[in-house]
Structure 1
Amino acid sequence: MKIISSILLNAFILFLIAFLLSSNDDMGITNGVVLGCKDCSYFSSEAWKTYIIGGVILGLINLTIKPLLKLVSLPFFFLFFGLTIFIVNAIVLKLFSYIINDILWIHEISYTIEGWVNFVIAVAIFTILNMVYSLLFFKK
C-alpha cells in the first residue's frame, strides 16, 4: 500500500508541476514543462501515462539515490539550517529528467522542465509536497 501511495503521490507531484508551470499565451508565459506526447493536454491519458511511469521512476530514485544524497549533504544540512534539502531535490529532479528523457527512451514519454526559473519553482513544489507527504504518512 505504501508503494502504491508513493507512486500515486509522485505522479500527482509531476502533474501539479506540469499544470502549474504550463504555458499561458495571454500572459506571455511559455512552456515550463514539456511532455513527450505531442499536442496533448495535461489531463489526457497519454499525459497520465507519463505521470504514472514518472511516478515509478521518481519513487525508485527517492528509494535508492535520495538517501545517499541526504547522507552526503548531512554536514551542510546543519550548517545551512536544512536548506540543502532543496539542493538534494534539485539533483533528484534533474536526475529524473535525465533518466526518463535520455536513458529509457520510451515512445512519447518525456518530461522536460525548461528554464532555470521554472526549475527552481518545480524544486520548491517538489520539496513542499514531499515534506507534506512525509508528515502525513510517516508519523511515528
Structure 2
Amino acid sequence: MGGRMMALYAGLLGLIYVAVGVLEIVGGLAVGWIPHDTFGGLVMLVVGSVYLCGVRELALGKEEGISFVLVGVMLSWVFGVLYLLMMGASLLDALVVGERALLDVRPEVILPLLTLPAIHHLRGLWRGWETRSP
C-alpha cells in the first residue's frame, strides 16, 4: 500500500470514526447499533482526528504520517477491547445477579476490524525497518 493509498485509507477511517462519534454525541440512530453516549462519541472523535491528522503527510509521501495511522490503530483496538471487556462484565454481572445481560454490540467493537488492512501494511513496514542496515 503506497503513501497515497494509505492516505486515502486513513482519511476514510478518520471520516467513519468522526461520523460515528458525532452520531453518538447527537443521540445515536434509530437503527439501534449507534447508542447515545457523549463520552464514547468524544473518544470516537479523538480516534478519527488522529487518523485525519496523518492524511496530509501520507499524501505527500512523508514517513511521519504513518505514525498517526499506527496510533489510530492502537487507539481503535484499545477502545474496542475496552468495550468488549465492558460487555463481558455486564454478562458476568447478569449471571451472578440472575438478570438479563446487556449485550449491545457497539460501533467501538466493530470498527477496529476495519483497521486490519492497515495492521497488515504496518507489519510489512516494520519488517522492512528491521532489515535496514544502520
TM-score above 0.5, yes or no: no
Q: Which has the higher helix share?
A: 2
TM interval, shorter chain, is 0.3 to 0.5
Q: RCO (CA 8 Å, sep 6+): is it higher in 1 or 2?
A: 1
TM-score under structure 1 length normalisation: 0.35
Q: Which has the higher strand share?
A: 1
The structure whose Rg is larger is 2
TM-score under structure 2 length normalisation: 0.36
